[in-house]
Structure formats: C-alpha cells, structure tokens
Structure 1
Amino acid sequence: MKKLSYVLTLLLIPVLLAGCDSKLLVFDPKGPIARSLTDLIVYSIILMLVVVVVVFVLFGYIVWKYRARKNDGDFEPKEEKGNHYLEITWFVIPIIIVIALMIPTTMTIYQVDDVPQGYEEDEPLVINVTSADWKWIFSYPDQDIETVNYVNIPADHPVELKMTSAGTMQSFWVPELAGQKYTMANMQTNLHLLADKPGSFYGRNTNFNGQGYAHMEFEVEAKTKEDFNKWVNDVKNTANDLTEDTYSQILEPGLVGRMTFNGTHLDWIDHAHGGSEQYIDPEKYRIHHGEHTDLNQDIDENREVDPLDQDEQEQNSDSEETDHSHH
C-alpha cells in the first residue's frame, strides 16, 4: 500500500501542476463549429477512458486471481482448447469501439465543413488566406483590402476561408472558432468559422516549417457588423495601396508586424493556381554554418504599422507567447 500511494502521488503531480488561470482554448469554444469539435473531443475522451478503465480493471483482476501462491505446490493447469465465444468477443469489441468513434466523427466532419446550422440564409464573408514564411496574409476580395498577421470578421456571421500557401505547407488553426486545416501551394482548402460574439481569438501555424515557425501567430478579431463595416471604410480611406513589389518583399522569409493595404495580391496571383515560384528565391532560405540570421523584415514605405511602436510590439509578442505557452 505504501508503494501504491507513492505511485498515485507521482501520477497526481502532473495533474496538480497543470492548473491554469484559464481554460485550454480547445475546450473553450466561442462558436458553433468549434463547439461541435469540442463535443467530439470530449465524447472521444470519455469513450477511450471507459475502454482504458475496463482493461485495467480486468488486468488487475486477472493478475490477482491467477497469481502464484505458496500452497500451489507442483500444480499444473490442464491444457484447454480455445473458447470460440471468447474469440468472437475479442473480435467484436474492437469493431464496436471503432464504429462508436467513426460515426460521430464522420457526422461532425461533414457538419463543420459547411455553413453552420441556422446561418444557411446568410451569405458568408469570403476571405482568402495565404500562408508564407513566416506570416499570414488575409485577402478580402469583395472589400478589396488585405491584411497581414491579423484578420477582422463580423461576429454572428459565417466566414468562409479559401486557404493556400505561397511556399511550404503550413497549418491554420483558431482553436476557439474552428478546426485545423493545412495550407498547400498550388491547391485550395476551405474552412468555415463563426464567432458567437465580438472578441479576440488566438490563431497560429501548428506545422513546423522552419526557424520562424514559433512566431507564426495571428489574431482573429470578431467585431459587430457596424464596427466591421466602419473598419473596412477606414482601411479604404487611410491604408496604402498594395503593389506587387511590396507583396514580393512580404513573401521573403522573415517576420513582419501587422500590415494593412488597399487592394489584394489576387489581382495578379492566386497561389492556389500556381505561379508561386516567381516570388520565391531559394537562396534567401540558405543559412551557412555558424551564421546568425535576423528574421525581422524591413518592408518599404508602403508598409502600414499598428500605432504601437516596434518595441511595444515585441513586448506584446513576448507576452502573448508566455500567455499561450501553456495552451
């Protein structure tokens, strides 16, 4: 019993140390799509927990019941042939478990791959998402504006993301609003998301793709429809025009802050349909042994930076990394 208490204490330590001031993002959904995925995760955990508990209970019972005893002597159990009923049971149980996981998983996949129920009559806001090393580019084709490393959406309104990559494969994930999907060059993947209420949500790349991967984060801000329309008008009146030369600089491997432009790169290229090679220079990825590379990019005067100065942005970035490290 003393040894058992030590083992249980060791098992409880990670649970106690895992306490956080806030919930894990994946278990704190803020929209119907993320809520469906969270329900599926919880269901899967409970089902697997039942399986694990049953297996360990049976394991403990068998070990205890058929343990060696001092009074066994030279006893040898008689040889028995296999039991057909047990063999059928061992075969059927895994099939039942797989079916119990497969059916809700398939239903949820089809459910989240379309406009959420109750919003079928709303025309989704279309945003083209382009991943690059190491930043996220969001294009609003209907509004004719483009942002980098942040995206604004109207709350309580469906959003359809058309995603691709300008180079390496990357992974788009906003755990509070939607599931994870990959972005790949020369092809398009689609993702729907919806925020119940206004708020700020954390998003990032979850696929390792180089030295700037850890900093490849973005913010999704859900605004009221009035505030969203006002933001669009403000961008049209104040933001610089996006040029192909500026866009080429943005695609160079490195880190940039938030940027906002009038116009989109879709006017001259959609990376889902090829052409990325004209913007990619492999030599810019080359790092010689012992060489230190500064990942921060310095875009030309067309760049529009947030009101925060560069030092404040770096402090906020460090703070966000600390806040989200436990997620």
Structure 2
Amino acid sequence: MNSPPSLYRRAAFRWLLSLVAVSAFTLLSGCDRLPGFLNPGGPIAHAQREHLGFVILMVMIVVLPVLVLTPWLVWRYRYSGQASYRPRWSFSKLIDVLIWGVPVIVVGVLSVVLWQKTIALDPYKPIESDKTPLEVQVIGFDWKWLFIYPDQGVATLGRLILPTDRPVSFTLTSATVMQTFFIPALGSQIDVMNRMVTRLHLIAEREGDFMGRNIQYNGEGFYKQQFTTQTVSQNRFDTYIDQIRTQGHTLDQGAYALLKAQNTWKDVANALSDDPPPPAPMVAFSQVPDGLFHAIARHQPVDWAGLAESSDAASNTSERAIQERNTQ
C-alpha cells in the first residue's frame, strides 16, 4: 500500500511532467511570434538559430542524464529502501570513462562547430549576391542611431529602412562612447566605438518590422536607444527615398547639435517640428553634409559650408530620379 508521501511525490512528478509538455507545445506552436533570431528575418539569424539548436542538443547529452538520474537516485537510495549497501565498492572503469569521455567529446565537437560558424558568420564577410549591396553608414549618438544612405544622399533617425533580398553593407562608428549595434531578427551584433570604424553585412529575406537596439550598457539612457528596422520591397524602398528627399529636414549645425545632446530620436523629432507633432515613425533628413560619417569617425571638422551647395544638386538629382522612374 502506498504511503501518503509517496502519493504526493508521484502526483507532483506527474504535474511537473505535464507542465513541461504543455510549455514545450506552446513554445513550438507559437514559433511565428517568437522574438529576435528565434523568428529569423534573414539567413544570418536563421543560421544562428540552427547553431543554437545544435548547441542545446549537444549539451543535453550531458545535462539530460543528470536531470533524469538525480531524481531516480534520490528515490532509489533514499526512499525505496531497495539499494544494497556496498561500503568496499570504489571504482568502475565504465562509469569513469563515461564521466570523463562524454564531456570531452561534447566539448571537442562544440569547439570545431563553433570555429566553423565563427568563420562562416563573420560580420565583416560580404554576403554573396548578384545584387549590388546597399551602403548604410551608422553613427551612434546618446541615445539614438543615425542612418546615412550615402548613395542616396539622405539619412534617417529612429527607423532603418532596408530593401529585401539585397545585401546591406554597414559601416559603423560612434560619436560618443562604446555601443553595440544589434538587430536580433537579422543577425550578428557588432561593437561600435569612438574614433574607430567597424563593418557588418546583413540581408533581409522577408518584409516586416524588426526591433534594433544598443545592448551595451553605456549610461542611464542606453535602454532607450532603440529603433525599428523596416524591410520592404525595392520599389517601396525607392519610394521612401523619394519621400525623404522631398519632405525631410536639413541636417545642419542646429540639427547636429540636437543629435549630439543626450536625448532620444523622439526628442529630436519634437525639437525639429514647429507644431506639436503626432507620433512620428522616424526623423528624416533630405540633406546631409558630405563626408559627415568620416568626419565624425576621424574627429575632423564637418563641412557645413558645402551643405548649401550640395542641397541644390541633391534636389535636382531627386527630381530627375522621380521623372525617370515615372517614365519607365
């Protein structure tokens, strides 16, 4: 006849097993709603998710026996009373080989795979494609990111707009302290440092809005340094660029002073607007000084004098591009 403590232990075990099964089913059934690289928006994040799954499976080779055998050992040697007392037993060659051999093999396999993945997912490694990469210059401020599109002559704050199925080549620097640029759904994070330039290559394979942020603690407002990465079709991307060229602000000395201050991109949006604005998706700049990124990276003066001269050329280029697209 089972004693009450034994019945309680069995009921608790069944409840715990049911909870694990329900949690696993819920997690697997909601894969489309998982955040970050667990719901990848590009091949880099997809490869990282596969690598995480492989690491978990390899670690389970060591962890699962511990999780399974520990309750069994407790039950057998503490509660069942069926274990034999052998005080002179001291060594088992098989157990010794398993205890040391299995972890050595697991660590060896993980080391080789990690080395291979580190090379394959090197953030400096360009992504092979038949399309020309989109150049994006990223500057980290307190507590916001400025995204410059040098070939298009525009910049955005608070929202990074990227075309799908086209490689993106990021060049990154910091105007203040060390930061970490990370878009979990697209993959690799990269450190961004003052007076240094780092590189990152990503590609989006589906349209959507993905959260990006700074994950390097560097002050009281670091958690506010977030942005939205919007991946769209190439045609829609071109439309966005045309809208920015016609509706964006000028990144002059006044706007740059706002960027240098410790505030968020929403604070910059409020300061640049004459009327109390509705919640804006981003701040757009239609005119950006030539060489702004390299001037900040090298701590050189910004050529504000050439901004007025380049604005007329930029507007003419924008009008010409719109006319050419409308005639196609």
- TM (normalized to structure 2)? 0.71
Confirm or deny: 8 A CA contact 1:140 1:264 kept in the other structure: no
Aligned residue number for residue 139 of structure 1: 148
Runs of 4+ residues over 6 Å off in structure 1: 18-21, 68-73
Which of 52, 57, 68 is the matching residue for 1:57? 68
| Mapped partners of 2:15, 2:260: distance in 1 | 51
Q: 2:112 corresponds to which residue?
A: 103
> 1:26 Cα deviation (Å)?
2.4
Where 2:111 maps in the other structure, the secondary structure is: helix
Gaps of 5+ in 2: 1-6, 267-281, 303-328
SS of the equivalent of 2:172 reads: strand
Number of paired residues? 274
CA–CA distance in structure 2, aligned partners of residues 41 and 142 of structure 1: 36
Partner of 1:321: none
Task: Give 1:176 deviation, angstroms.
Answer: 1.5
AA aligned opposite 1:78 = R
Instruction: List gaps (5 residues or longer) in structure 1.
Output: 280-327
Aligned to 2:231: 222
Alpha-carbon distance between aligned partners in 2 of 1:4 and 1:274, rounded to the nearest angstrom: 68
Q: Which residue number in structure 2 is paired with residue 285 of structure 1?
A: none
Q: Do the aligned partners of 2:35 and 2:185 also contact (CA within 8 Å) in 1?
A: no
CA–CA separation in structure 2 for the residues paired with 1:196 and 1:86: 49
Matched, 1:37 2:54: no
Following superposition, the deviation at residue 269 of structure 1 comes to: 4.9
Q: Which secondary structure state, in structure 1, belongs to the residue aligned with residue 223 of structure 2? A: helix
1:78 to 74, 88, 94: 88
What is the RMSD of the two structures over their aligned residues, measured on CA atoms? 3.4
Q: What whole-Å deviation, never above 9, does each CA across 1:161-188 have from its counterpart, x for those lacking one? A: 1122222222222121112222222222
Asked whether the equivalents of residues 177 and 218 of structure 2 are also in contact (C-alpha less than 8 Å), the reply is yes
The aligned residue for residue 125 of structure 1 is 134
> Given that residues 182 and 214 in structure 2 are in contact (C-alpha distance below 8 angstroms), is that contact kept between their aligned partners in structure 1?
yes
Which of the pair has more CA radius of gyration? 2
Q: 1:90 to 1:10 in 2, by over 3 A?
A: closer
Give, in angstroms, the shift of residue 136 of structure 1. Answer: 1.0
Q: Which residue of 1 aligns with 2:286?
A: 262
AA in 1 matched with 2:299: G
The separation in 1 between residues aligned to 2:158 and 2:195, in whole angstroms, is 21
Q: Secondary structure at the match of 2:216?
A: coil
* Shift, 1:3, TM fit: 3.1
- Cα distance change of structure 1 residues 104 and 213 upon mapping to structure 2, 3 Å threshold: same
Kindly indicate whether the alpha-carbon contact (under 8 Å) linking 2:137 and 2:293 is maintained by their aligned counterparts in 1: no
Structure 2 match to 1:5: 11
Identity of aligned residues (%): 26
Residue pair 2:174, 2:194 contacting (<8 A) in 1 also = yes
SS at match of 2:160: strand
* 1:48 has 2:59 as partner: yes
Which AA in structure 1 matches 2:9?
K
| SS of the residue 1:29 aligns to | coil
Question: In the alignment, does 2:260 pair up with 1:251?
Answer: yes
Given the superposition, is the C-alpha separation of residues 69 and 178 from structure 1 closer, same or farther in structure 2, using an over 3 Å criterion? closer
Contact 2:157–2:283, Cα closer than 8 Å, also in 1: yes
Cα deviations across residues 256-290 of structure 1 (Å, max 9, x unaligned)? Answer: 222111343562453773429x99xxxxxxxxxxx
Structure 2 residue 197 is the aligned partner of structure 1 residue 191: no
- Residue 26 of structure 1: aligned partner: 37
Q: Shift of residue 109 of structure 1?
A: 2.5
More helix, by proportion: 2
Q: Is the 8 A contact 1:198 1:223 kept in 2?
A: yes
Separation (CA, whole Å) in 1 of partners of 2:163 and 2:80: 71
* Letter aligned with residue 172 of structure 2: M
Query: What is the distance in 1 between the residues matched to 2:89 and 2:61?
Result: 33
The aligned counterpart of 1:236 is 245
After superposition, the Cα gap between the structure-2 partners of 1:84 and 1:232, relative to the gap in structure 1 and judged at 3 Å, is: same
Counterparts in 2 of 1:28 and 1:69: CA distance versus 1, 3 Å: closer
Shift of 1:28: 0.8
Provide the C-alpha distance between the structure 2 equivalents of 1:71 and 1:51, rounded to a whole number of angstroms.
27
Matched, 1:275 2:299: yes
Rounded to whole Å, the distance in 1 between the matches of 2:80 and 2:34 is 50
Distance 1:72 1:145 in 2: 76
Please state whether the residue corresponding to 2:156 is helix, strand or coil: strand
Q: d(CA) in 1 for partners of 2:70 and 2:189? A: 37
Taking a change above 3 Å as real, the CA distance of residues 178 and 79 of structure 1, as seen in their structure-2 partners, is: closer
**SS in structure 2 opposite 1:179?**
strand
TM-aligned CA deviation for residue 211 of structure 1: 2.8
